[in-house]
């Protein structure tokens, strides 16, 4: 049942779960926990289900995670990557295509799934703070301008990178980096099934990308460091150089995963969990957080329902740690290192990159290193050049 601006009940049943944040990770957690028979309420600060449009690229793992819910949000498929650096280029064909999804379609589809499973969604509902009471957790909430107290046994913070749930329950703040992307007309020489990546270490230790949304439009973006304004200036200069006009801008700060964040804390008799960006469950190589946030959601749902024996959580931790190792290596690469890297991407290596998807990064890393051992030396050089990202 979808509720808008309806007052929250001050009592909930035993074993009840409140999820703060009605976006990707929160709605999937709510759908899974409600489907397991728990009483679930989602509190979302926005006034309704009208997410800003945003094109996102995900691996095909997304389809396996969401099954039929996935299809309504998929708008394009990516079959190859083109990597550019300093006049050189390399092409990687993907055996299983990456997917371009539209967030404005994904969020309503997930909300429908959560409601169908029995979760109750409340909009214009802001989580303010947390305490304990004799039975579990006491939540301070403001709904449609009215302050209320809500009681729950378990609380899930799916409220993004600046998670108020996290801070209220004692987790330290998460470091973030700016991500800025412009929607652009697709240049004539760019195929709609090909993502372009440019390594320009003078501009960013990450990269620029151009992800086609369809035959005529794409998202050209950058992950920066420091301020969002400086990052925007850099991408504006890059667009000018490429002779591409921005049609509209999208952006936000994205968490940086540096080490595993334990996802559960006890507050009095209650259990508090974090999922998605709130727990920095973001691949720090590409700052993709959809698939990994869904894995975090599955793991927390398993914990709340007493199933899964932490398998998903352990796998997610391994995955995020491997991305952190790769990022540490790349973070101090200079132009000549990227040139060498693109040259080393011989046919065998490119096959590994295309065959194994980025959500199995440990397998991918070993396969690439086996086929091109010189990459180990290059990687070690990257690791030794600095003590990791600033
Ligand atoms: C421009 C851009 C492009 C991106 N591209 C990609 C990509 O290509 N691939 C990819 O995998 N990832 C991408 N990402 C990252 C991805 O979008 C995020 O990792 C993902 O959306 C995180 O989902 P989440 O549910 O954890 O958090 P969020 O989407 O941040 O949702 C948090 C929710 O909590 C609500 N909330 C916050 N505080 C409160 C409160 N106090 N009370 C109640 N509600 C509250 C917010 O309103 C929001 O709805 C991109 C991000 C940006 C900004």
User: What is the distance between the alpha carbons of residues 269 and 132, in angstroms, rounded to a whole number?
Assistant: 7
pLDDT for 360 equals: 63
pLDDT of residue 389: 42
Give the strand order in the sheet containing 125-132: 125-132, 137-143, 146-152
Q: Ligand 1 pocket: which residues have CB below 6 Å? A: 20-26, 43-46, 54, 56-58, 126-127, 158-160, 164, 179, 181, 250-252, 254, 276-278, 282, 288-290, 293
If one counts every other C-beta atom within 10 angstroms of the C-beta of residue 389, the result is 18
| Higher-scoring residue by pLDDT: 142, 348 | 142
In this predicted structure, the answer to whether residue 3 has a pLDDT above a threshold of 70 is no
Domain ranges of the chain: 2-51+104-174+257-322, 176-255, 324-385
CATH 3.30.9.10 at 176-255, yes or no? yes
Sheet-wide strand order for 176-185: 55-58, 88-102, 74-85, 194-198, 208-212, 217-223, 176-185, 246-255
Q: How far is CA 48 from CA 3, 43, 107, 124, in A?
A: 9, 11, 11, 7
Cα 278 to chain centroid distance, Å, stands at: 10
Q: Ligand 1 centre and the CA of 344: distance in Å? A: 36
| 63 Cα–ligand 1 center, Å | 19
pLDDT of 327 > 90? The answer is no
Q: How far apart are CA 327 and CA 297, in angstroms?
A: 24
pLDDT of the residue at 369: 55
Question: CB of 155 within 8 A of CB of 30?
Answer: no
% residues pLDDT > 90 (the chain): 63
The answer as to CATH 1.10.1740.110 being correct for domain 2-51+104-174+257-322 is no
Task: Render pLDDT for 166-175 as a digit per residue (tens, 0 to 9).
Answer: 999 999 999 9
Phi, psi of 120 (to 5 degrees): -105, 130
Question: With left for phi above 0 and alpha for psi between -120 and 50, is residue 202 left, alpha or beta?
Answer: alpha
147 to 19, 37, 143: CA distances (angstroms): 18, 29, 7
Shortest-distance atom of ligand 1 to CA 276: 26
The pLDDT tens digits for 251-278 are 999 999 999 999 999 999 999 999 999 9
**Does residue 390 carry a pLDDT above 50?**
no
Mean pLDDT on 314-319: 92
The string of pLDDT tens digits covering residues 198-214 is 999 999 988 999 999 99
Write the residue with the smallest CA distance to atom 7 of ligand 1: 56
In terms of residues, how long is the chain? 390
User: Which residue in 153, 98, 121, 114 sits closest to 41, CA to CA?
Assistant: 121
pLDDT band at 353 (very low <50, low <70, confident <90, very high): low
290 CA distance to ligand 1 centroid (A)?
8
Please give the number of the atom of ligand 1 that sits closest to the Cα of 46: 47
Does residue 30 or residue 11 have the better pLDDT? 30
| Residues 310/299, Cβ–Cβ less than 8 Å | yes
Residue 181 pLDDT = 94
- At 366, is the pLDDT very low, low, confident or very high (cuts 50, 70, 90)? low
**19-71 tens-digit pLDDT:** 999 999 999 999 999 999 999 999 999 999 888 888 899 988 999 999 888 88
Q: At residue 250, does pLDDT exceed 80?
A: yes
């Amino acid at each position: 049942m979808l509720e808008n601006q309806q007052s929250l009940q001050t009592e909930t049943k035993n074993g009840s779960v409140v999820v703060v944040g009605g976006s990707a990770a929160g709605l999937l957690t709510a759908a899974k926990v409600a489907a397991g028979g728990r009483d679930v309420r989602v509190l979302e600060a926005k006034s309704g289900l009208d997410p800003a449009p945003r094109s996102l690229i995900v691996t095909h793992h997304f389809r396996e995670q969401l099954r039929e819910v996935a299809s309504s949000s998929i708008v394009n498929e990516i079959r190859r990557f083109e990597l550019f650096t300093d006049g050189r280029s390399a092409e990687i064909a993907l055996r299983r295509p990456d997917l371009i999804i539209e967030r404005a379609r994904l969020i309503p589809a997930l909300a429908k799934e959560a409601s169908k499973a029995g979760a109750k969604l409340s909009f214009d509902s802001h989580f303010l703070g947390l305490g304990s009471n004799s039975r579990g957790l006491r939540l301070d909430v403001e709904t449609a301008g009215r302050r209320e107290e809500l009681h729950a046994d378990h609380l899930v913070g799916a409220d993004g990178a600046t998670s108020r749930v996290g801070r209220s329950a004692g987790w330290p703040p998460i470091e973030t980096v700016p991500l800025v992307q412009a929607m652009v007309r697709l240049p004539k020489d760019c195929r709609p099934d090909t993502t372009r990546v440019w390594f320009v270490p003078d501009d960013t230790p990450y990269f620029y990308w151009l992800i086609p949304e369809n035959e005529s439009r794409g998202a050209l973006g950058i992950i920066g460091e420091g301020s969002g304004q400086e990052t925007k200036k850099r991408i504006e200069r890059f667009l000018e150089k490429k002779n591409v006009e921005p049609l509209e801008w999208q952006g936000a700060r994205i968490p940086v995963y540096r080490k595993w964040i334990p996802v559960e804390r006890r507050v009095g008799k209650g259990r508090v969990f974090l999922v998605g960006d709130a727990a920095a469950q973001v691949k720090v190589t590409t700052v993709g957080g959809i698939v990994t946030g869904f894995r975090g959601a599955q793991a927390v749902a398993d914990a709340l329902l007493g199933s899964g024996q932490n398998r998903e959580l352990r796998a997610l931790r391994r995955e995020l740690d491997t991305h952190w190792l790769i990022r540490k290596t790349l973070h101090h690469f200079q132009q000549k290192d990227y040139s060498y890297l693109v040259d080393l991407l011989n046919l065998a290596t490119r096959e590994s990159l295309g065959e194994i998807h980025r959500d199995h990064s440990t397998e991918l890393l070993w396969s690439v290193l086996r086929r091109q051992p010189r990459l180990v030396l290059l990687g070690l050089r990257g690791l030794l050049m600095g003590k990791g990202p600033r």
